[in-house]
A and B are shown apart, each in its own frame.
Chain A
Amino acid sequence: MQLIDHSNNSKSKTVGRALAAATCALLGVHATGSLAKGQPGEWDVETALLVYSETDDRVQAAEPVISATRNFDGERKLNLKLVADTLTGASPSGATPSALPQTYTSPSGNGSYEIAPGEAPLDDTFKDTRVAVSANWEAPINRDYAYSVGAYGSKEYDYLSTAVNASLSRYLNNKNTTLTGGLSLGVDLVDPVGGAPVGLSRMPLNNNKSQADFDQEFAATRDSDDTKTMVDALFGVTQVINRQTLMQFNYGISYSSGYLTDPYKILSVIDDASGSNYGGNLVGGDGNPVYLYEQRPDTRLKHSLYWQTKYMLGNGDVMDGSYRFMIDDWGITSHTLDLKYRWQLGKSYLEPHFRYYLQSEADFYKRYLTASEYNSGAPVMTDASADYRLGEMTGLTFGAKWGYRFDDDRELAIRAEYLIQTNDGDQGFGSLASQDLYPDTNAMWLQLSYSF
Protein backbone atom coordinates (compact mmCIF):
# COMPACT_ATOMS: atom_id res chain seq x y z
CA MET A 1 0.00 0.00 0.00
CA GLN A 2 1.26 3.42 -0.87
CA LEU A 3 0.98 6.20 1.65
CA ILE A 4 3.44 8.67 0.17
CA ASP A 5 2.67 11.71 -1.97
CA HIS A 6 0.94 10.30 -5.00
CA SER A 7 1.47 13.05 -7.54
CA ASN A 8 5.26 13.12 -7.20
CA ASN A 9 5.45 9.41 -7.35
CA SER A 10 3.37 9.05 -10.46
CA LYS A 11 5.42 11.81 -12.09
CA SER A 12 8.66 9.96 -11.38
CA LYS A 13 7.09 6.73 -12.64
CA THR A 14 6.11 8.48 -15.88
CA VAL A 15 9.61 9.84 -16.36
CA GLY A 16 11.07 6.45 -15.55
CA ARG A 17 8.82 4.77 -18.08
CA ALA A 18 9.62 7.30 -20.75
CA LEU A 19 13.33 6.69 -20.17
CA ALA A 20 12.81 2.93 -20.24
CA ALA A 21 10.81 3.24 -23.46
CA ALA A 22 13.50 5.39 -25.03
CA THR A 23 16.22 2.94 -23.98
CA CYS A 24 14.26 0.01 -25.31
CA ALA A 25 13.58 1.85 -28.56
CA LEU A 26 17.32 2.40 -28.96
CA LEU A 27 17.96 -1.27 -28.34
CA GLY A 28 15.23 -2.24 -30.77
CA VAL A 29 12.92 -3.85 -28.24
CA HIS A 30 9.51 -2.74 -27.12
CA ALA A 31 8.78 -1.79 -23.55
CA THR A 32 6.39 -3.92 -21.58
CA GLY A 33 4.16 -2.32 -19.01
CA SER A 34 5.75 -3.84 -15.93
CA LEU A 35 3.77 -3.42 -12.74
CA ALA A 36 4.87 -1.32 -9.83
CA LYS A 37 4.85 -4.37 -7.60
CA GLY A 38 7.96 -5.06 -5.61
CA GLN A 39 8.74 -1.39 -4.98
CA PRO A 40 10.97 -0.87 -1.92
CA GLY A 41 9.19 0.29 1.20
CA GLU A 42 5.77 -0.96 0.15
CA TRP A 43 3.41 -3.75 1.09
CA ASP A 44 1.97 -5.74 -1.80
CA VAL A 45 -1.25 -7.39 -0.66
CA GLU A 46 -3.05 -10.25 -2.38
CA THR A 47 -6.49 -11.23 -1.08
CA ALA A 48 -8.74 -14.01 -2.31
CA LEU A 49 -11.88 -15.92 -1.52
CA LEU A 50 -12.21 -19.46 -2.78
CA VAL A 51 -15.46 -21.39 -2.84
CA TYR A 52 -15.05 -25.11 -3.44
CA SER A 53 -17.86 -27.54 -4.14
CA GLU A 54 -18.02 -31.24 -4.95
CA THR A 55 -21.09 -32.79 -6.57
CA ASP A 56 -23.32 -35.40 -4.82
CA ASP A 57 -23.36 -33.50 -1.48
CA ARG A 58 -19.72 -34.15 -0.91
CA VAL A 59 -17.20 -31.62 0.41
CA GLN A 60 -18.11 -27.93 0.34
CA ALA A 61 -15.52 -25.39 1.45
CA ALA A 62 -15.02 -21.65 1.70
CA GLU A 63 -11.48 -20.38 2.01
CA PRO A 64 -10.44 -16.74 2.47
CA VAL A 65 -6.73 -15.89 2.04
CA ILE A 66 -4.64 -12.82 2.67
CA SER A 67 -1.02 -12.66 1.66
CA ALA A 68 1.13 -9.58 2.24
CA THR A 69 4.66 -9.03 1.00
CA ARG A 70 6.81 -6.24 2.35
CA ASN A 71 9.65 -5.20 0.06
CA PHE A 72 12.54 -3.68 1.94
CA ASP A 73 15.19 -2.74 -0.59
CA GLY A 74 14.09 -4.46 -3.74
CA GLU A 75 15.70 -7.79 -2.92
CA ARG A 76 14.87 -8.35 0.75
CA LYS A 77 11.28 -9.47 1.18
CA LEU A 78 9.01 -10.63 3.95
CA ASN A 79 5.85 -12.54 3.11
CA LEU A 80 3.10 -13.24 5.62
CA LYS A 81 0.11 -15.37 4.72
CA LEU A 82 -3.09 -16.25 6.52
CA VAL A 83 -5.55 -18.87 5.20
CA ALA A 84 -8.76 -20.01 6.84
CA ASP A 85 -11.10 -22.69 5.60
CA THR A 86 -14.35 -24.19 6.67
CA LEU A 87 -15.35 -27.59 5.37
CA THR A 88 -18.65 -29.44 5.49
CA GLY A 89 -20.11 -32.35 3.58
CA ALA A 90 -19.45 -36.00 3.08
CA SER A 91 -16.39 -37.95 2.12
CA PRO A 92 -16.17 -41.54 0.77
CA SER A 93 -15.47 -43.87 3.71
CA GLY A 94 -13.83 -46.58 1.61
CA ALA A 95 -16.58 -49.16 2.20
CA THR A 96 -18.28 -50.71 -0.85
CA PRO A 97 -21.93 -50.06 -1.78
CA SER A 98 -24.29 -52.94 -1.20
CA ALA A 99 -27.70 -54.21 -2.29
CA LEU A 100 -28.75 -53.96 1.38
CA PRO A 101 -28.88 -50.93 3.68
CA GLN A 102 -25.64 -50.49 5.64
CA THR A 103 -25.02 -48.97 9.08
CA TYR A 104 -21.67 -47.59 10.20
CA THR A 105 -20.45 -46.24 13.51
CA SER A 106 -19.47 -42.57 13.32
CA PRO A 107 -15.79 -41.79 14.08
CA SER A 108 -16.56 -40.50 17.59
CA GLY A 109 -18.37 -43.71 18.50
CA ASN A 110 -21.33 -41.64 19.72
CA GLY A 111 -23.68 -42.41 16.87
CA SER A 112 -24.12 -44.15 13.57
CA TYR A 113 -25.10 -43.34 10.00
CA GLU A 114 -26.99 -45.38 7.47
CA ILE A 115 -26.39 -45.77 3.73
CA ALA A 116 -29.22 -46.77 1.40
CA PRO A 117 -28.90 -49.81 -0.91
CA GLY A 118 -26.75 -49.08 -3.98
CA GLU A 119 -25.53 -45.75 -2.59
CA ALA A 120 -21.85 -44.91 -2.23
CA PRO A 121 -20.93 -45.07 1.48
CA LEU A 122 -20.15 -41.49 2.44
CA ASP A 123 -19.23 -40.41 5.92
CA ASP A 124 -21.25 -37.22 6.40
CA THR A 125 -19.89 -36.41 9.84
CA PHE A 126 -17.09 -34.52 8.10
CA LYS A 127 -16.82 -30.95 9.34
CA ASP A 128 -13.76 -28.88 10.03
CA THR A 129 -12.29 -25.42 10.28
CA ARG A 130 -8.64 -24.86 9.54
CA VAL A 131 -6.45 -21.84 10.08
CA ALA A 132 -2.98 -21.72 8.54
CA VAL A 133 -0.29 -19.07 8.92
CA SER A 134 3.07 -18.85 7.23
CA ALA A 135 5.97 -16.44 7.12
CA ASN A 136 8.82 -16.34 4.66
CA TRP A 137 11.89 -14.14 4.50
CA GLU A 138 14.26 -13.91 1.55
CA ALA A 139 17.37 -11.83 1.13
CA PRO A 140 20.66 -11.75 -0.75
CA ILE A 141 23.85 -12.76 1.09
CA ASN A 142 26.15 -11.20 -1.51
CA ARG A 143 26.31 -10.78 -5.28
CA ASP A 144 26.26 -14.52 -5.89
CA TYR A 145 24.17 -15.98 -3.09
CA ALA A 146 20.69 -15.51 -1.63
CA TYR A 147 18.79 -17.35 1.07
CA SER A 148 15.28 -17.77 2.35
CA VAL A 149 13.84 -19.03 5.62
CA GLY A 150 10.24 -19.78 6.46
CA ALA A 151 7.87 -21.21 9.02
CA TYR A 152 4.39 -22.70 8.72
CA GLY A 153 1.72 -23.68 11.19
CA SER A 154 -1.88 -24.82 10.80
CA LYS A 155 -4.54 -26.02 13.16
CA GLU A 156 -7.77 -27.83 12.63
CA TYR A 157 -9.93 -29.63 15.14
CA ASP A 158 -8.12 -32.96 14.94
CA TYR A 159 -4.80 -31.97 13.41
CA LEU A 160 -1.88 -29.65 14.14
CA SER A 161 0.83 -29.12 11.58
CA THR A 162 4.13 -27.25 11.90
CA ALA A 163 7.09 -26.88 9.56
CA VAL A 164 10.22 -24.82 9.06
CA ASN A 165 12.20 -24.47 5.86
CA ALA A 166 15.35 -22.86 4.53
CA SER A 167 16.96 -22.60 1.13
CA LEU A 168 20.14 -21.29 -0.40
CA SER A 169 20.50 -20.05 -3.98
CA ARG A 170 23.64 -19.55 -6.03
CA TYR A 171 23.61 -17.33 -9.15
CA LEU A 172 25.85 -18.24 -12.06
CA ASN A 173 26.46 -16.97 -15.60
CA ASN A 174 25.35 -13.37 -15.06
CA LYS A 175 22.33 -14.60 -13.07
CA ASN A 176 21.16 -16.61 -16.05
CA THR A 177 21.48 -19.79 -14.00
CA THR A 178 20.26 -20.17 -10.43
CA LEU A 179 21.00 -23.26 -8.38
CA THR A 180 18.80 -23.73 -5.32
CA GLY A 181 18.94 -26.24 -2.50
CA GLY A 182 16.33 -26.31 0.25
CA LEU A 183 15.32 -28.31 3.26
CA SER A 184 12.00 -28.47 5.11
CA LEU A 185 11.26 -30.19 8.41
CA GLY A 186 7.74 -30.78 9.61
CA VAL A 187 6.04 -32.31 12.62
CA ASP A 188 2.29 -32.97 12.64
CA LEU A 189 0.15 -34.03 15.57
CA VAL A 190 -2.85 -36.20 14.68
CA ASP A 191 -5.63 -36.35 17.26
CA PRO A 192 -8.60 -38.00 15.53
CA VAL A 193 -12.17 -37.64 16.76
CA GLY A 194 -12.83 -40.62 19.02
CA GLY A 195 -9.13 -41.55 19.08
CA ALA A 196 -7.11 -43.19 16.30
CA PRO A 197 -8.48 -46.66 15.53
CA VAL A 198 -6.18 -49.66 15.67
CA GLY A 199 -5.29 -50.48 12.04
CA LEU A 200 -7.23 -53.40 10.50
CA SER A 201 -9.33 -53.81 13.64
CA ARG A 202 -13.06 -54.37 13.20
CA MET A 203 -15.39 -51.37 13.35
CA PRO A 204 -17.68 -51.96 16.37
CA LEU A 205 -21.38 -51.71 15.49
CA ASN A 206 -24.01 -51.29 18.19
CA ASN A 207 -26.79 -53.38 16.61
CA ASN A 208 -27.78 -56.44 18.65
CA LYS A 209 -25.74 -55.52 21.71
CA SER A 210 -25.91 -53.50 24.92
CA GLN A 211 -24.42 -50.00 25.12
CA ALA A 212 -21.90 -51.27 27.69
CA ASP A 213 -20.72 -54.03 25.36
CA PHE A 214 -20.45 -51.58 22.49
CA ASP A 215 -18.47 -49.07 24.60
CA GLN A 216 -16.08 -51.77 25.68
CA GLU A 217 -15.62 -52.96 22.10
CA PHE A 218 -15.12 -49.38 20.87
CA ALA A 219 -12.49 -48.62 23.53
CA ALA A 220 -10.60 -51.78 22.57
CA THR A 221 -10.16 -50.50 18.98
CA ARG A 222 -8.62 -47.16 20.01
CA ASP A 223 -5.06 -45.90 20.16
CA SER A 224 -4.08 -42.52 21.52
CA ASP A 225 -3.11 -39.53 19.35
CA ASP A 226 -0.07 -39.83 17.16
CA THR A 227 2.60 -37.87 15.30
CA LYS A 228 3.99 -37.68 11.83
CA THR A 229 7.37 -36.21 10.86
CA MET A 230 8.42 -35.10 7.42
CA VAL A 231 11.78 -34.22 5.91
CA ASP A 232 11.82 -32.71 2.44
CA ALA A 233 14.82 -31.71 0.35
CA LEU A 234 14.59 -29.86 -2.93
CA PHE A 235 17.30 -29.15 -5.53
CA GLY A 236 16.52 -26.87 -8.42
CA VAL A 237 18.06 -25.25 -11.46
CA THR A 238 16.43 -22.19 -12.99
CA GLN A 239 17.83 -21.22 -16.36
CA VAL A 240 17.20 -18.24 -18.61
CA ILE A 241 17.19 -19.77 -22.08
CA ASN A 242 16.80 -16.57 -24.08
CA ARG A 243 15.04 -13.21 -23.88
CA GLN A 244 11.63 -14.90 -24.02
CA THR A 245 12.16 -18.25 -22.29
CA LEU A 246 12.71 -19.28 -18.71
CA MET A 247 13.04 -22.87 -17.52
CA GLN A 248 13.09 -24.59 -14.16
CA PHE A 249 14.06 -28.12 -13.24
CA ASN A 250 13.58 -29.48 -9.69
CA TYR A 251 14.30 -32.73 -7.97
CA GLY A 252 12.58 -33.29 -4.64
CA ILE A 253 12.85 -36.06 -2.11
CA SER A 254 10.44 -36.39 0.76
CA TYR A 255 10.45 -38.81 3.67
CA SER A 256 7.51 -39.11 6.07
CA SER A 257 7.27 -41.37 9.07
CA GLY A 258 4.79 -41.94 11.85
CA TYR A 259 1.02 -42.06 11.60
CA LEU A 260 0.31 -41.90 7.84
CA THR A 261 -3.05 -43.69 8.03
CA ASP A 262 -6.38 -41.92 7.53
CA PRO A 263 -8.22 -42.59 10.81
CA TYR A 264 -11.66 -42.17 9.21
CA LYS A 265 -11.27 -44.63 6.32
CA ILE A 266 -12.53 -48.21 6.38
CA LEU A 267 -12.67 -51.33 4.18
CA SER A 268 -15.56 -53.73 3.59
CA VAL A 269 -15.01 -57.46 3.99
CA ILE A 270 -16.73 -59.43 1.21
CA ASP A 271 -17.86 -63.05 1.25
CA ASP A 272 -15.70 -65.11 -1.16
CA ALA A 273 -18.64 -67.04 -2.58
CA SER A 274 -21.52 -64.56 -2.91
CA GLY A 275 -19.78 -61.19 -3.25
CA SER A 276 -22.03 -59.71 -0.57
CA ASN A 277 -20.98 -58.24 2.77
CA TYR A 278 -19.40 -60.79 5.06
CA GLY A 279 -20.24 -61.27 8.71
CA GLY A 280 -24.03 -61.11 8.97
CA ASN A 281 -24.47 -64.88 9.32
CA LEU A 282 -21.38 -65.80 11.33
CA VAL A 283 -21.96 -68.45 13.97
CA GLY A 284 -21.46 -66.80 17.34
CA GLY A 285 -21.11 -63.38 15.69
CA ASP A 286 -23.12 -60.26 16.48
CA GLY A 287 -25.03 -60.41 13.20
CA ASN A 288 -23.29 -57.33 11.81
CA PRO A 289 -21.24 -57.11 8.63
CA VAL A 290 -17.47 -56.75 9.03
CA TYR A 291 -15.77 -53.44 8.26
CA LEU A 292 -12.11 -52.84 9.09
CA TYR A 293 -10.29 -49.61 9.84
CA GLU A 294 -7.60 -49.01 7.25
CA GLN A 295 -3.88 -49.26 7.93
CA ARG A 296 -1.05 -47.71 5.88
CA PRO A 297 2.70 -48.25 6.23
CA ASP A 298 4.38 -46.00 8.78
CA THR A 299 7.01 -44.62 6.40
CA ARG A 300 6.86 -43.19 2.91
CA LEU A 301 9.68 -42.09 0.62
CA LYS A 302 8.76 -39.98 -2.41
CA HIS A 303 10.86 -38.67 -5.28
CA SER A 304 9.63 -36.03 -7.65
CA LEU A 305 10.96 -34.41 -10.78
CA TYR A 306 9.48 -31.15 -11.93
CA TRP A 307 10.09 -29.22 -15.11
CA GLN A 308 8.52 -25.89 -15.96
CA THR A 309 8.91 -23.57 -18.92
CA LYS A 310 7.62 -20.07 -19.44
CA TYR A 311 7.66 -18.52 -22.86
CA MET A 312 6.61 -15.03 -23.89
CA LEU A 313 5.35 -14.61 -27.43
CA GLY A 314 6.04 -11.53 -29.55
CA ASN A 315 2.59 -10.10 -28.74
CA GLY A 316 3.15 -10.35 -24.97
CA ASP A 317 1.07 -13.51 -24.44
CA VAL A 318 2.68 -15.99 -22.06
CA MET A 319 2.72 -19.78 -22.27
CA ASP A 320 3.33 -21.73 -19.08
CA GLY A 321 3.84 -25.49 -19.20
CA SER A 322 4.94 -27.89 -16.50
CA TYR A 323 5.36 -31.62 -16.03
CA ARG A 324 5.88 -33.53 -12.80
CA PHE A 325 6.85 -37.14 -12.34
CA MET A 326 6.48 -38.69 -8.91
CA ILE A 327 7.39 -42.12 -7.61
CA ASP A 328 7.26 -43.49 -4.09
CA ASP A 329 7.89 -46.67 -2.13
CA TRP A 330 4.15 -47.28 -1.71
CA GLY A 331 4.17 -48.29 -5.39
CA ILE A 332 2.53 -45.10 -6.63
CA THR A 333 3.81 -43.34 -9.71
CA SER A 334 2.16 -40.24 -11.10
CA HIS A 335 2.38 -37.90 -14.05
CA THR A 336 1.07 -34.35 -13.95
CA LEU A 337 0.90 -32.05 -16.94
CA ASP A 338 -0.18 -28.45 -16.51
CA LEU A 339 -0.68 -25.90 -19.29
CA LYS A 340 -1.68 -22.26 -19.16
CA TYR A 341 -1.87 -19.60 -21.82
CA ARG A 342 -2.15 -15.96 -20.81
CA TRP A 343 -3.79 -13.88 -23.47
CA GLN A 344 -3.10 -10.17 -23.07
CA LEU A 345 -6.19 -8.08 -23.87
CA GLY A 346 -5.11 -4.52 -23.15
CA LYS A 347 -5.72 -3.88 -19.47
CA SER A 348 -7.17 -7.32 -18.91
CA TYR A 349 -6.03 -10.84 -19.61
CA LEU A 350 -7.69 -14.21 -20.09
CA GLU A 351 -5.87 -17.38 -19.09
CA PRO A 352 -7.28 -20.80 -20.01
CA HIS A 353 -5.86 -23.68 -17.99
CA PHE A 354 -5.66 -27.42 -18.52
CA ARG A 355 -4.26 -30.04 -16.15
CA TYR A 356 -3.90 -33.76 -16.65
CA TYR A 357 -3.09 -36.16 -13.82
CA LEU A 358 -2.49 -39.90 -13.95
CA GLN A 359 -1.72 -42.05 -10.93
CA SER A 360 -1.11 -45.77 -10.39
CA GLU A 361 -2.42 -47.52 -7.30
CA ALA A 362 -0.51 -48.12 -4.06
CA ASP A 363 0.70 -51.70 -3.45
CA PHE A 364 -1.60 -51.99 -0.42
CA TYR A 365 -4.65 -50.43 -2.11
CA LYS A 366 -7.58 -52.85 -1.92
CA ARG A 367 -11.09 -51.84 -2.95
CA TYR A 368 -12.33 -54.43 -0.42
CA LEU A 369 -10.96 -57.42 1.46
CA THR A 370 -12.31 -60.92 0.95
CA ALA A 371 -13.33 -63.08 3.91
CA SER A 372 -10.30 -65.29 3.32
CA GLU A 373 -8.00 -62.23 3.43
CA TYR A 374 -9.76 -61.15 6.64
CA ASN A 375 -8.94 -64.62 7.95
CA SER A 376 -11.34 -64.52 10.93
CA GLY A 377 -9.78 -61.39 12.40
CA ALA A 378 -6.10 -62.15 11.67
CA PRO A 379 -5.74 -60.42 8.27
CA VAL A 380 -3.21 -61.90 5.88
CA MET A 381 -1.76 -58.46 5.08
CA THR A 382 -0.22 -55.84 7.35
CA ASP A 383 -1.48 -52.82 5.39
CA ALA A 384 -4.67 -52.18 3.43
CA SER A 385 -6.58 -49.09 2.34
CA ALA A 386 -9.63 -48.55 0.15
CA ASP A 387 -9.08 -44.79 -0.01
CA TYR A 388 -9.80 -43.90 -3.65
CA ARG A 389 -6.98 -41.35 -3.52
CA LEU A 390 -4.51 -44.24 -3.34
CA GLY A 391 -6.13 -46.09 -6.25
CA GLU A 392 -5.60 -45.92 -9.98
CA MET A 393 -6.79 -42.47 -10.95
CA THR A 394 -7.07 -40.03 -13.81
CA GLY A 395 -7.80 -36.38 -13.17
CA LEU A 396 -8.69 -33.72 -15.69
CA THR A 397 -8.99 -30.05 -14.82
CA PHE A 398 -10.32 -27.35 -17.10
CA GLY A 399 -10.20 -23.79 -15.94
CA ALA A 400 -9.85 -20.16 -16.83
CA LYS A 401 -8.84 -16.96 -15.12
CA TRP A 402 -9.79 -13.46 -16.14
CA GLY A 403 -8.01 -10.51 -14.64
CA TYR A 404 -8.29 -6.76 -14.95
CA ARG A 405 -5.49 -4.37 -14.08
CA PHE A 406 -6.78 -0.99 -12.92
CA ASP A 407 -3.29 0.44 -12.69
CA ASP A 408 0.25 -0.63 -11.82
CA ASP A 409 -0.76 -1.82 -8.37
CA ARG A 410 -4.36 -2.97 -8.37
CA GLU A 411 -5.72 -6.08 -10.01
CA LEU A 412 -9.06 -7.85 -9.80
CA ALA A 413 -9.31 -11.44 -10.99
CA ILE A 414 -11.82 -14.25 -11.14
CA ARG A 415 -10.90 -17.86 -11.67
CA ALA A 416 -12.99 -20.98 -12.20
CA GLU A 417 -11.73 -24.57 -12.29
CA TYR A 418 -13.55 -27.84 -12.89
CA LEU A 419 -11.98 -31.16 -11.87
CA ILE A 420 -13.14 -34.62 -12.96
CA GLN A 421 -11.51 -37.56 -11.22
CA THR A 422 -12.11 -41.09 -12.46
CA ASN A 423 -10.94 -44.24 -10.71
CA ASP A 424 -10.49 -47.74 -11.96
CA GLY A 425 -9.51 -51.13 -10.55
CA ASP A 426 -10.88 -54.45 -9.35
CA GLN A 427 -14.54 -54.65 -10.42
CA GLY A 428 -15.63 -57.12 -7.73
CA PHE A 429 -17.46 -60.43 -8.17
CA GLY A 430 -20.84 -61.93 -7.43
CA SER A 431 -23.38 -59.40 -6.20
CA LEU A 432 -20.62 -56.80 -5.68
CA ALA A 433 -20.01 -56.67 -9.44
CA SER A 434 -23.38 -54.96 -9.97
CA GLN A 435 -22.38 -52.05 -7.66
CA ASP A 436 -20.57 -48.92 -8.82
CA LEU A 437 -17.27 -49.31 -6.98
CA TYR A 438 -15.58 -46.30 -8.58
CA PRO A 439 -17.92 -43.32 -8.76
CA ASP A 440 -16.40 -40.20 -10.36
CA THR A 441 -15.51 -37.24 -8.22
CA ASN A 442 -16.43 -33.88 -9.70
CA ALA A 443 -15.33 -30.68 -8.05
CA MET A 444 -15.57 -27.07 -9.00
CA TRP A 445 -13.97 -24.03 -7.44
CA LEU A 446 -14.41 -20.33 -7.97
CA GLN A 447 -11.94 -17.77 -6.77
CA LEU A 448 -12.22 -14.04 -6.56
CA SER A 449 -8.95 -12.17 -6.00
CA TYR A 450 -8.00 -8.59 -5.48
CA SER A 451 -4.44 -7.37 -5.11
CA PHE A 452 -3.24 -3.90 -4.28
Chain B
Amino acid sequence: MPDSRLFYRPLRQAQRVLMPIAFLAATLLTAGCSNLGVKPWERDLLANPDMQLTVSGVDAGLDDHIYFSKEASSGGRGFGGGGCGCN
Protein backbone atom coordinates (compact mmCIF):
# COMPACT_ATOMS: atom_id res chain seq x y z
CA MET B 1 0.00 0.00 0.00
CA PRO B 2 1.78 3.22 -1.09
CA ASP B 3 1.95 6.10 1.34
CA SER B 4 -0.98 8.29 0.28
CA ARG B 5 0.92 11.46 1.12
CA LEU B 6 3.72 10.48 -1.23
CA PHE B 7 1.18 9.54 -3.85
CA TYR B 8 -0.83 12.76 -3.82
CA ARG B 9 1.94 15.27 -3.27
CA PRO B 10 3.29 15.09 -6.82
CA LEU B 11 -0.32 15.11 -8.04
CA ARG B 12 -0.92 18.39 -6.26
CA GLN B 13 2.37 19.75 -7.59
CA ALA B 14 1.35 18.67 -11.06
CA GLN B 15 -2.05 20.27 -10.64
CA ARG B 16 -0.45 23.57 -9.65
CA VAL B 17 1.62 23.52 -12.82
CA LEU B 18 -0.93 21.98 -15.12
CA MET B 19 -4.01 24.03 -14.23
CA PRO B 20 -2.76 27.42 -15.51
CA ILE B 21 -1.41 25.76 -18.64
CA ALA B 22 -4.65 23.88 -19.24
CA PHE B 23 -6.56 27.12 -18.71
CA LEU B 24 -4.30 28.89 -21.18
CA ALA B 25 -4.72 26.11 -23.71
CA ALA B 26 -8.50 26.14 -23.32
CA THR B 27 -8.62 29.91 -23.72
CA LEU B 28 -6.42 29.73 -26.80
CA LEU B 29 -8.68 27.04 -28.20
CA THR B 30 -12.02 28.67 -27.65
CA ALA B 31 -11.06 32.27 -28.32
CA GLY B 32 -7.99 32.25 -30.46
CA CYS B 33 -8.12 29.28 -32.74
CA SER B 34 -10.99 30.45 -34.88
CA ASN B 35 -8.89 33.51 -35.79
CA LEU B 36 -5.74 31.50 -36.38
CA GLY B 37 -5.07 29.31 -39.35
CA VAL B 38 -5.11 29.57 -43.11
CA LYS B 39 -7.52 29.22 -46.01
CA PRO B 40 -7.43 25.88 -47.85
CA TRP B 41 -5.47 27.43 -50.75
CA GLU B 42 -2.79 28.75 -48.39
CA ARG B 43 -1.58 25.30 -47.36
CA ASP B 44 1.29 25.09 -49.85
CA LEU B 45 4.08 25.44 -47.28
CA LEU B 46 2.34 23.36 -44.63
CA ALA B 47 1.94 20.55 -47.18
CA ASN B 48 5.72 20.31 -47.53
CA PRO B 49 6.90 17.03 -45.93
CA ASP B 50 9.54 19.00 -43.99
CA MET B 51 6.69 20.76 -42.18
CA GLN B 52 5.25 17.57 -40.72
CA LEU B 53 5.54 17.49 -36.93
CA THR B 54 7.52 14.26 -37.20
CA VAL B 55 9.50 14.31 -40.45
CA SER B 56 11.10 10.89 -40.01
CA GLY B 57 9.28 8.32 -37.89
CA VAL B 58 12.37 6.11 -38.00
CA ASP B 59 14.71 8.80 -36.58
CA ALA B 60 12.17 9.69 -33.89
CA GLY B 61 11.65 6.03 -32.95
CA LEU B 62 15.38 5.33 -32.65
CA ASP B 63 16.03 8.46 -30.57
CA ASP B 64 13.03 7.82 -28.31
CA HIS B 65 14.35 4.32 -27.64
CA ILE B 66 17.84 5.60 -26.80
CA TYR B 67 16.59 8.31 -24.44
CA PHE B 68 14.05 5.95 -22.87
CA SER B 69 16.91 3.63 -21.91
CA LYS B 70 19.23 6.43 -20.68
CA GLU B 71 16.85 8.78 -18.83
CA ALA B 72 13.91 8.63 -16.43
CA SER B 73 11.52 10.39 -18.83
CA SER B 74 9.73 9.22 -21.94
CA GLY B 75 6.77 10.10 -24.12
CA GLY B 76 5.36 13.56 -24.73
CA ARG B 77 5.32 13.53 -28.49
CA GLY B 78 3.44 10.24 -28.48
CA PHE B 79 2.83 7.37 -26.13
CA GLY B 80 5.39 6.97 -23.36
CA GLY B 81 7.57 4.27 -24.76
CA GLY B 82 8.25 1.00 -23.08
CA GLY B 83 8.97 -2.24 -24.70
CA CYS B 84 12.37 -2.97 -23.35
CA GLY B 85 13.94 -4.19 -20.19
CA CYS B 86 16.51 -1.42 -20.43
CA ASN B 87 14.79 0.79 -17.85
Contact = CB atoms under 8 A, between A and B. Distances in A.
Interface of A: 24, 27, 29, 31-32, 34-35, 37, 46, 48, 50, 52, 63, 65, 67, 79, 81, 83, 128, 130, 132, 152, 154, 156, 158-159, 161, 163, 165, 172-177, 182, 184, 186, 188, 190, 192, 230, 232, 234, 237-244, 246, 248-252, 254, 262, 297, 299, 301-306, 308, 310, 312, 316, 318, 320, 322, 324-332, 334, 336, 342, 349, 357, 359, 362-363, 389-390, 393, 395, 401, 413, 415, 417, 419, 421, 441, 443, 445, 447, 449
Nearest to A313: B45
A266 B72 CA distance: 17
The secondary structure that dominates the A interface is strand
Given A48-B58, A65-B61, A318-B50, A301 B11 contact: yes
Contact of A251 (B22, B40, B45, B50): B22
A130 B72 contact: no
A443 B70 contact: yes
Contacts of B18: 251, 303, 305
15 contacts: A34-B48, A159-B84, A243-B46, A301-B11, A302-B73, A304-B73, A304-B75, A304-B76, A304-B80, A305-B76, A306-B76, A328-B72, A357-B67, A389-B71, A445-B66
Interface in B10-61: 10-11, 13-14, 17-18, 21-22, 25, 28-29, 33-34, 36-53, 55-59, 61
B71 A393 contact: yes
B77 to A, nearest CB: 6
B37 A241 contact: yes
A154 B83 contact: yes
Given A46-B56, A328-B10, A254 B75 contact: yes
Contacts of B76: 250, 252, 304-306, 322, 324, 326, 336
Given A190-B85, A243-B42, A308-B53, A326 B79 contact: no
B38 A46 contact: no
B4 to A, nearest CB: 11
A342 B80 contact: no
A342 B7 CA distance: 43
B53 A237 contact: no
By Cβ-Cβ distance, the 4 closest A-B pairs, closest first, are: A176-B37, A159-B85, A306-B76, A161-B83
Given A34-B48, A65-B58, A334-B73, A154 B6 contact: no
A138 B87 CA distance: 30
A239 B37 contact: yes
B38 A246 contact: no
B37 A177 contact: yes
A298 B69 CA distance: 19
B17 to A, nearest CB: 7
Given A161-B83, A312-B51, A252 B21 contact: no
A332 B84 contact: no
Given A48-B62, A326-B76, A330-B72, 11 more contacts: A32-B44, A176-B38, A184-B80, A243-B42, A246-B51, A303-B18, A304-B73, A305-B21, A324-B76, A329-B6, A447-B62
Contacts of A389: 70-72, 87
B59 to A, nearest CB: 7
